[in-house]
Amino acid sequence: MIQIGIAASSNPNPKPIAKEKAKRFARKLAEYKKEVVLLTGGGGGLMTIVSEEYSRHGGIVVGIVPLEMEFINKGHPRWNPFNTVEIFSGMSFQARSIPLVKSSDVLVCLGGEAGSIIEVLIAYLNAKPTIVITGTGYLTDKLKLLTDKEGYLDSRKIVRLIFEENPERAAEKAYIMGKQAIKKE
């Protein structure tokens, strides 16, 4: 199975354009649901949106839940009822990003702030193929400003970041890149 990780805002009130793009991404990715498992940071905001849409179309969603969210009640703004599988990480929000990213064959950033940027940087340092969906209204839209003209974050040129405004194309690219990544293993 291809494991596609999601970096996304956990803010309970996601930006409308990012919300729409997350839904479109999940619907397109669900076309590959027999081959793809979606990994998220557990829930809240865009993670809940993408989880709901992907699971509604028959996809499997694995939520790697941070310690701070392990005991929240149903109905809490950050609770995600759409995780097919929940893994209680016992780790803080930031620490749980490491197993999330390292377990992903590809990371897709749906839009977010500092936490999502950290996950993109972890992916880069671990040579994980990464797609950043742009035009979301989040700070991650500006990540391209940090890359060189080829899409690398530093002189080591570990892995090129892919920037894509169209969420359906991002889903297709994630699937293709995921297939390539698991062939290398």
Residue 82 neighbours by CB distance under 10 Å: 21
Q: Is it the case that residue 139 has pLDDT exceeding 70?
A: yes
Which tens digits make up the pLDDT trace of 158-183?
Answer: 999 999 999 999 999 999 999 999 98
Within a domain: 124: yes
Q: What percent of the chain has pLDDT over 90?
A: 85
Q: What percent of the chain has pLDDT over 70?
A: 99
Within a domain: 107: yes
- Report the distance separating Cα 133 and Cα 140, nearest Å: 8
Number of domains in the chain: 1
Within a domain: 118: yes
- Report the distance separating Cα 71 and Cα 8, nearest Å: 21
Within a domain: 184: no
Q: Closest by alpha carbon to 109, among 9, 8, 3?
A: 8
Within a domain: 59: yes
Q: Is it the case that residue 74 has pLDDT exceeding 90?
A: no
Q: Is it the case that residue 184 has pLDDT exceeding 80?
A: no
Parent domain of 48: 2-179
CATH number for 7: 3.40.50.450
pLDDT at res. 185: 67
Within a domain: 185: no
Which tens digits make up the pLDDT trace of 10-47?
Answer: 999 999 999 999 999 999 999 999 999 999 998 889 99
- Stretch 75-80: mean pLDDT, rounded? 83
